[in-house]
Amino acid sequence: METIQSIGASHGFGLGDLSIYTKEIDLEAKIVNNFQKTIESITKEFESKVETLKGENRKIEAEVLESYIVILEDPEINSNLSTNSTLEEVFTLFEENAKQMESLDDEYFAQRAEDIRSLCKDVIISMQDASSLFELQEGTILAAEDLTPTDTSNMDLNNIEGLIIKYGGLTSHAVIVAKNLGIPCVIGLNDNFTRLKNGQKVLINGENGEVIINPDTNRIDELQKKIKEQEALVLSFTKKKLEDSDLDLRVNIGSNEEIDQFNSEVLESIGLFRSEFIFLDSKEPPSLDQQISVNNKLSKKFSGTVIYRLLDVGGDKQVEYLNINKEENPFLGVRGIRLIESNENVFSSQLESIFKSDLYSRVKVMLPMVSTLEDLYTTRRLIKEIAEKEGKEPLPMGVMIETPSAALIAEKLADNVDFFSIGSNDLTMYTLAADRGNVELRKYQDPLHPSVLKLINNVISTGTNKGIEVSVCGEMASDSIASIILYSLGLRVFSLSPSSAALIFHTLSDSKFIRNKTPLNIDEFAHAEEIREYVNENN
């Protein structure tokens, strides 16, 4: 038995036989289909896959395949290759194009370069007539350096028990697909990836990132017990129990797929609606009608309150058609509500879509990336203007607390807003000055660091004293130990992924630390690990 520590990216446990996915190509192989014939057949194949993916609501994968079709139609590629081109010539031309993209030294074009390389492999494999369909037996743990949309669309992911990705960030395509389909996934094995061999029995833990090679029977029994416990936990989490508790659990929603897949008889409110996907999923600004129809869809699925976060782009999420300048430090740049100055019409359209939808009476508007009081003014004015135009009452407005500045001026903010929601993902990033997407900075990304907890404590106590609601909608709300700490600091409203709700409800209801009202003075701790140990020991 051998254990590799990686990073948990999609919840759940997976046990199965390892299959390593590689896409090596052989330029010496015999050509069976000429270049032109191959391009025609791949384009047709992609077009039909796009339809299938759209039908399955796998919009992001469909869009990437659509962009591959555009590359295949590019005259730069077509006019330089012919029916007689060799594999070497095809490879060289695609590679030159990829290198040109890369030389532009821009993240967007670097990704396009990867797309071109991935497509080149598909073309060459197809010219050799080697099937690009990767057969997956039932009970497979799939390991790959990374997975592109073409890769995933060539696989029957229903047979996968888990996914191991060598590199990958928490927002990479592979992770998004894993989360959407409920497949446990770990990422960031880096050099340890070479320890994996085809056919090994492997167990992965999507929570803590453990990869266990050849687990002994004890570990397997332990895992099976855990899976059964989790299933029982979900069944025991009922509406009545939630209503009888002092907890308010809500869900985070951030894509069409998540709206479609939401299926709970217990949870009914959205604590964080990440409206960005409506803009990121589209090549041009979404129309008012498109936005209204998303809101109406939400209205049908959720009977409770919806905290609608206004557009939070900039940072790692770029939208080409918006008025955003290229920046050296986008996370410290014109991100979130700071965009309202240059893109007022976008924020107005979001607000208008809320006023005009069935959801209106249940929406509270939330502002992302607030750091000063001035950040509130334009939005407040817009809400008022649109409310008057529509002949309706203005919407309640709250702020995300995700910058140290907002946490430190919580008292002033509280006098001006209806609620706080703590965005611990960004709050941790900005407090510890460590990019949340950089896997090498793991040790600086713990929201239990006393510096972050001190800010959170200030926000919870200020909100409570001022009589406004405080929730946490960052990922720490779905971490067991963190949730106990948050509860002990006075938090009762948690917004989390729907699949974590039962576990957190159970953790908080059963916590000895909470029952015994164990004292928790953050000033006594210097490290995140000490706090974690203290809670563990007393729980």
Note the residues at the interface with ligand PEP (CB under 6 A).
272, 274, 312, 402, 423-426, 473-474
Residue 317 or residue 380: which is nearer to ligand PEP going by CB? 317
Residue 291 or residue 424: which is nearer to Mg ion going by CB? 424
Radius of gyration from C-alpha coordinates of the chain: 25
Shortest distance, position 484 Cβ to ligand PEP, whole Å: 19
Which of ligand PEP, Mg ion, none does residue 148 bind to, with CB < 5 to 8 Å depending on kind?
none
DSSP E strands in 160-216: the ranges are: 160-165, 185-187, 201-205, 210-213
Distance CA 340, CA 333 (A): 13
Shortest distance, position 144 Cβ to ligand PEP, whole Å: 26
Residue 139 or residue 169: which is nearer to Mg ion going by CB? 169
Which of ligand PEP, Mg ion, none does residue 424 bind to, with CB < 5 to 8 Å depending on kind?
ligand PEP
* Closest CA relative to residue 45, chosen from 65, 30, 25: 65
Residue 61 or residue 402: which is nearer to ligand PEP going by CB? 402
Shortest distance, position 11 Cβ to ligand PEP, whole Å: 16
Q: Are 262 and 498 in contact (CB under 8 A)?
A: yes
Which of ligand PEP, Mg ion, none does residue 100 bind to, with CB < 5 to 8 Å depending on kind?
none
Shortest distance, position 369 Cβ to Mg ion, whole Å: 7
Residue 151 or residue 475: which is nearer to ligand PEP going by CB? 475
Shortest distance, position 422 Cβ to Mg ion, whole Å: 10
Q: Are 62 and 46 in contact (CB under 8 A)?
A: no
Residue 352 or residue 475: which is nearer to Mg ion going by CB? 475
Distance CA 523, CA 292 (A): 47
Which of ligand PEP, Mg ion, none does residue 474 bind to, with CB < 5 to 8 Å depending on kind?
ligand PEP
How do beta strands 13-21 and 201-205 pair? antiparallel
Q: Reduced to 3 states, what is the DSSP secondary structure of residue 141?
A: strand
Which of Mg ion, ligand PEP, none does residue 117 bind to, with CB < 5 to 8 Å depending on kind?
none
Residue 122 or residue 426: which is nearer to Mg ion going by CB? 426
Which of Mg ion, ligand PEP, none does residue 152 bind to, with CB < 5 to 8 Å depending on kind?
none
Distance CA 454, CA 189 (A): 32
Quote the longest CA-to-CA distance of the chain: 78
DSSP E strands in 416-531: the ranges are: 419-422, 469-472, 493-496
Distance CA 271, CA 252 (A): 6
* Closest CA relative to residue 5, chosen from 141, 136, 193, 134: 193
H helices present in 103-245, as ranges: 107-127, 149-153, 173-181, 217-236, 239-244
Shortest distance, position 50 Cβ to ligand PEP, whole Å: 28
Taking the alpha carbons of 306, 312, 316, 321 in that order, is the dihedral positive or negative?
positive
Residue 109 or residue 262: which is nearer to ligand PEP going by CB? 262
Shortest distance, position 312 Cβ to ligand PEP, whole Å: 6
Shortest distance, position 120 Cβ to ligand PEP, whole Å: 34
Which residues of the chain form contacts with Mg ion (CB under 5 A)? 402, 423, 426
